[in-house]
């Protein structure tokens, strides 16, 4: 049985989305900047998609800038705002829960003379709003915080932190790539100035992302060139992908409640079953977390082997963020949460989607314990630690 | 009759390209970084496309970095190399023939403390290699020059300039977005260090571009994040578009000679006919130019109206680069060539593709003179200049 439990890596695209895209691969191939009908049709399609994406997050259409990915949106937000506001101050705050597109952009800013504060989460991957308040200096111009973690599912207190930022006239960006499409996301209610999205996280196409930029927020382009996207993001628009992102947004608006209920139920069933395996720790926040997200650290095994064995049984999961999963290092996010390296190495993340079923959960609960047992029998890790009592575990078993 | 003569804005995508992309919209939806089969299939598809694109330009596969557009590739090249080599010197040379993605990136570099020399072309849009040699200083680390101009079709002496750059250990980038797929492009023969491409210029999809980066050339990423593209360009790969770019490259390799012959013949016929209209000037180089490219300046008319009237007759053309065509200003490229503003305003560019026919040329040659005559009768421009003799024209009629 094939079980795709890696929706945080990417989603299968909806057939309705592909249908919406098809005309723009064929007869409607115009460049949206061309002034004849073929160009105007493409332009109108983009503007319709802009309205659809704006509708998903309660923004105005002119606050949506299309990008090629969530990573591009994150780079654009962090560097674009920091550079636009550098004459007011050169201090930026991020967290150690961020995606590498934020962390590595922050490091680039350091090379340009910025100071960056990296906030450490608690054991559940949660950032306390007070920690942000304490980190603010008179030089702070930008705070960037992930909305929900792909690795441990924790949802951060974005609304509270946005309020703190607003009091101090600091721009606030949130990376909502993983949350959008999985929980309600409303820029007005959250009070954010900038927010990153990726279409393939909500059953849209790869190659389409967006940055929400609140009216009045200054930002310097990441990609300079023509007058596309109001001169804020150059390059011939990927019309079919943008149209697909719009359609995916529209579907998400009407289906979100049902999707949440479905994945939460499956996730809870899986979690209950997996937690019966000895020396397995549930990671991330128990309540403040994505509904379709279950993450664990399995002690005394090597994570890569676990993933391979699961894959051999048709169970497709991740060890953390897909963007770093090939690096074979313990996740920096888990380490920053205070999880010991040898435990973090056994990270496994199940993320559910609309296509998952109870049968898949049953099957996985049958296979998973056997695989872990087999791996522990084979693993050199158990030799040294075999006499460890469960109580010695570094993180409390929930 | 519908005549699409704006292949420099974008090309219709080939049906074979769409066919190659389709599986990656449906069943093969994996994230290329995932370690299970769904991910590995996507990874293999990208690597196959990398070989195909490398084959088109005679590069090694590991020298190809996929981007979302030609504009992104241009930004990446100019800023990535300038920043990587800034400790050797902070001088960059570009030309006034460049696309805005190069020119505006150059302006951004100026803000970071770089000095940029903008070389002026001659009346035919041609940059003399000697002008480049003279502009080089001990501080020069990068030269960027467009391979062929979208606005006037002129092909620049890239090979000669690459040689000059190599003598001085200066990195050399060429923007081959418009040339690739229209003329043979061979990075080894040209001797370039970096080269930008866009798939939709050779019947591939929008949303896929590439930067050729010669082995050993240092470059700092434009988009930071995950380990995609060897850590040089982050963001979940747009797998279907990359696959489509590969297929389009493969088709181009086998069909290029035939495409060139076809568009050259149509272009020459159109040019001969259009040049019979009084006070029309052929722009760009007469011989060193793209085979499917015919560009003119029509005196005593307003270019925008000409384009609208042509469009009303089903003849779709551009006034210059699509990326700036809505700006309603005379093309900076034409002005830099020394074409007077009032003449540059009447710019019209015909670019041919595989789907164009002799009948379309016949039809256009019938309609075009009538439209020009009608516009000149209506135009306020003629009032002041109506007594101008043809001999007074600022650029010699060919």
* Selection from A21, A66, A56, A17 nearest residue A237 by Cα: A66
Residues with Cβ < 8 Å from A369, sequence gap 6 or more? A276, A277
Hey, is A187 helix, strand or coil? helix
DSSP string computed for A26-42: TT----TT-SSHHHHHH
Q: Which two tokens stand for residue A52?
A: 């659809």
Among B108, B224, B239, beta carbon nearest to A105: B224
- Can you give the pLDDT at residue B380? 64
For tokens 């920091």, name the residue.
A82
**Interchain pair B227, A323: CB under 8 A:** yes
Q: How far apart are CA A97 and CA A178, in angstroms?
A: 13
Interface check A323 vs B, CB under 8 A: yes
Interface check B101 vs A, CB under 8 A: yes
DSSP string computed for A142-172: EEEEESB-TTT-BBP-HHHHHHHHHHTT-EE
**Residues of A with catalytic annotation?**
323
Q: What are the pLDDT digits (tens) for B64-102?
A: 999 999 999 999 999 999 999 999 999 999 999 999 999
**Interchain pair B234, A75: CB under 8 A:** yes
Residue of B3, B297, B323, B394 marked catalytic: B323
- Can you give the pLDDT at residue B212? 98
Whether A354 and A203 have beta carbons less than 8 Å apart is answered as yes
SS3 content of chain A, % helix, strand, coil (to 5): 45, 15, 40
Interface check A382 vs B, CB under 8 A: no
Q: What are the pLDDT digits (tens) for B109-119?
A: 999 999 999 99
Q: Which two tokens stand for residue A83?
A: 């550079």
**Interchain pair B227, A74: CB under 8 A:** no
Q: What's the angle, vertex CA B43, arms to CA B38 and CA A328, rounded to 5?
A: 85
**Interchain pair B36, A12: CB under 8 A:** no
Backbone phi, psi, residue A390, to 5°: -55, -40
Instruction: Work out the minimum CA distance from B167 to partner chain A, whole angstroms.
Output: 30
Instruction: Work out the minimum CA distance from B360 to partner chain A, whole angstroms.
Output: 17
pLDDT category at B381 given cuts 50, 70, 90 is low
Mean pLDDT over all residues of chain B? 93
Q: What is the CATH number of domain A15-252?
A: 3.40.640.10
pTM of structure: 0.94
Please, what's the b/e burial string for A97-115 (b: 16 or more CB within 10 A of its CB; e: otherwise)?
Answer: bbbbbbbbbbebbeeeebe
**Partners of residue A117 on adjacent β-strands:** A93
pLDDT category at B328 given cuts 50, 70, 90 is low
CA dihedral sign of residues B163, B166, B168, B170: positive
Chain A's closest residue to B201, CA to CA, is A236
- Can you give the pLDDT at residue B323? 54
Q: How far apart are CA A242 and CA A238, in angstroms?
A: 6
Hey, is A4 helix, strand or coil? strand
ipTM for this prediction: 0.93
Catalytic, B297? Answer: no
**Partners of residue B298 on adjacent β-strands:** B280
Which residues in chain B have Cβ-Cβ distances shorter than 8 Å to A38? 4, 316
**Interchain pair A241, B241: CB under 8 A:** yes
Chain A's closest residue to B36, CA to CA, is A311
Which residues in chain B have Cβ-Cβ distances shorter than 8 Å to A37? 311
Instruction: Report helix angle A100-111 to A70-84, nearest 10.
Output: 30
Q: What are the pLDDT digits (tens) for B228-255?
A: 998 999 999 999 999 999 999 999 999 9
Domain segments of chain B: what residues?
3-7+256-378, 15-252
**Interface-testing mutation among B30, B72, B236, B316, with chain A (most A C-beta atoms within 10 A):** B236
Interface check A43 vs B, CB under 8 A: no
CATH architecture of A3-7+256-378: Alpha-Beta Complex (3.90)
B 112-151: CB under 8 A from A:
112
Average pLDDT per 10 consecutive residues for chain A, totaling 398 residues:
96 97 97 93 98 98 98 98 98 97 97 97 97 98 98 98 98 98 98 98 98 98 93 95 98 98 98 96 97 96 90 93 59 93 92 98 98 87 46 41
A 46-85: CB under 8 A from B:
68-72, 74-75
Chain A's closest residue to B311, CA to CA, is A36
Whether B142 and B171 have beta carbons less than 8 Å apart is answered as yes
Q: What's the angle, vertex CA A199, arms to CA A349 and CA B230, rounded to 5?
A: 65
pLDDT above 50 for B384: no
Instruction: Work out the minimum CA distance from B271 to partner chain A, whole angstroms.
Output: 22
pLDDT above 90 for B392: no
């Amino acid at each position: 049985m094939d079980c795709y439990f890696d929706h945080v890596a990417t989603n299968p695209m909806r057939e309705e989305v592909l249908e919406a895209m098809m005309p723009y691969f064929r007869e409607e191939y115009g460049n949206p900047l061309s002034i004849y009908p073929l160009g105007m049709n493409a332009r109108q399609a983009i503007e319709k998609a802009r309205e659809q994406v704006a509708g998903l997050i309660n923004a105005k259409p002119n606050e949506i800038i299309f990008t090629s990915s969530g990573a591009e949106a994150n780079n654009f937000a962090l560097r674009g705002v920091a550079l636009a506001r550098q004459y007011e101050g050169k201090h930026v705050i991020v967290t150690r829960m961020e995606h590498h597109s934020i962390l590595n952009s922050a490091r680039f800013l350091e090379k340009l003379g910025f100071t960056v504060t990296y906030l450490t989460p608690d054991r559940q991957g949660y950032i306390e709003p007070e920690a942000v308040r304490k980190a603010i200096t008179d030089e702070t111009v930008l705070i960037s915080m992930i909305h929900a973690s792909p690795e441990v599912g924790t949802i951060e207190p974005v609304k509270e932190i946005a309020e703190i930022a607003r009091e101090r006239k600091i721009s606030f960006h949130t990376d909502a790539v993983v949350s959008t499409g999985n929980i309600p996301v409303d820029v007005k209610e959250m009070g954010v100035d900038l927010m990153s999205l990726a279409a393939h996280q909500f059953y849209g196409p790869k190659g389409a992302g967006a940055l929400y930029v609140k009216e009045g927020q200054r930002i310097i382009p990441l990609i300079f060139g023509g007058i596309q996207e109001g001169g804020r993001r150059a390059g011939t628009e990927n019309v079919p992908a943008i149209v697909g992102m719009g359609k995916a947004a529209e579907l998400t608006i009407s289906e979100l409640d049902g999707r949440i209920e479905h994945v939460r139920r499956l996730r809870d069933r899986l979690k209950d079953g997996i937690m019966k395996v000895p020396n397995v720790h549930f990671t991330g926040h128990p309540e403040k977390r994505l509904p379709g997200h279950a993450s664990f650290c399995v002690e005394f095994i090597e994570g890569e082997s676990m993933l391979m064995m699961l894959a051999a049984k048709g169970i497709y999961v991740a060890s953390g963020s897909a963007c770093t999963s090939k690096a074979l290092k313990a996740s920096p996010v888990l380490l920053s949460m205070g999880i010991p390296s040898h435990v973090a190495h056994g990270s496994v993340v199940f993320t559910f989607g609309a296509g998952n079923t109870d049968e898949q959960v049953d099957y996985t609960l049958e296979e998973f314990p056997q695989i872990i047992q087999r791996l522990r029998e084979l693993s050199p890790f158990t030799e040294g630690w075999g006499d460890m009592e469960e109580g010695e575990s570094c993180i409390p078993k929930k």
